[in-house]
Amino acid sequence: MLSDTDIKQQIEDRKNNPTEGIYIDPFEEKYLTPVGYDFRVGQKGFSWKNKREIDIEKEKEIEIEPNDTVVIETLESVSLSKEVGATIHAMVSKAVLYGLSHISTTIDPGWTGKLLISVSNYRDSSVVLRFRDSFCLDKIKAFYTAIGSLCDEIGFQSYVPHLNTDPIDNPNISPRQVFDTDKHQVIKSNLVIAYIGYASLGVGMELAYADTNAIPIILLYERGKVISRFPRGIPTVFSEIEFKDYKDALTQLESVLKQWRQQHK
């Protein structure tokens, strides 16, 4: 599995040698995730239900009707060296978050061209994806998921809020239930990990509850980013991780967590 740093290195390798690395066009660094690249909805699509090709670029969107399966061409073209293969996963896709289904597919080493992504709608209502929309979940949620997985691997029992009370995955959970659930999870925690690279009322409240209940806190944010001194000044903060990229963040966090676990056996 390649991290965002690995992918950037693979792209640089391709620039230096046309038989090595990875080429993505158009490539935008903001669509990198901790464990991959976030492809976007391209110009063409096909509806199996209606047996017609859809010009997504012209229509600005593609509507996926109930009980329909569509095939969507990616905006990006991809070229892989013979040493690199890839997979397209549904677990972080925006399609799945909106109640759609996608079967993971493999991209063979040496592949060159656009990708075709098949998406099925088993809901009772249509779902619309817009031209140039990303298929994947935003990178911050992917980052949180990666943090949760790391914690589980080390031996902690993680609680990642968006995996449990996300408004799209769990639309029937009331605001009060979300508040009670997330507050309870913070209060019963032995440790709270928070990314504070952007303003979030929810994260701020969670940190306040952690402080009130004397729960140790680890803060993460990008190196060089201006961060409010208020959360950094919370008395129970015992570690601040400034990272250059997500891989660096996870590497540093792993070290801090293992040290903390050793000290609190």
* pTM passes above 0.75: no
How many other CB atoms are there within 10 angstroms of residue 254's CB atom?
14
The CATH classification number of 4-130 equals 2.70.40.10
Of residues 239 and 200, more confidence is placed in 239
Domain range summary for the chain, segments of one domain joined by +: 4-130, 139-263
Count of alpha carbons within 13 Å of 89, Cβ hemisphere only?
Answer: 10
Mean of pLDDT over the chain: 87
How many other CB atoms are there within 10 angstroms of residue 239's CB atom?
18
Q: How far apart are CA 145 and CA 189, in angstroms?
A: 17
The secondary structure of residue 137, as a DSSP letter, is P
Question: In terms of Cα–Cα distance, which of 126, 107, 130 is closest to 117?
Answer: 107
Give residue for tokens 């990229």.
245
Percent of the chain predicted with pLDDT > 90: 54
The domain 139-263 having CATH identifier 2.170.120.30: the answer here is no
Q: How far apart are CA 195 and CA 6, in angstroms?
A: 22
Burial 117-150, CB ≥16 within 10 A → b, else e? bbbbbeeeeebebebebbbbbebbbbbbbbbbeb
Model confidence band, residue 92 (pLDDT cutoffs 50, 70, 90): very low
Angle, CA 106 vertex, CA 28 and CA 132 arms, to 5°: 30
Model confidence band, residue 31 (pLDDT cutoffs 50, 70, 90): confident
In Å, what is the CA distance from 79 to each residue of 17, 36, 89, 115? 13, 15, 18, 10
- Mean pLDDT over 237-258 rounds to 92
Q: Is the pLDDT confidence value at 16 over 50?
A: yes
DSSP 161-189: THHHH-TTT-TTS-HHHHHHHHHHHHHT-
Encoding tokens for residue 196? 């504070």
Q: How far apart are CA 36 and CA 25, in angstroms?
A: 15
The secondary structure of residue 55, as a DSSP letter, is E
The length of the chain, given as a count of residues: 265
How many other CB atoms are there within 10 angstroms of residue 233's CB atom?
9
pLDDT of 75 reads 95
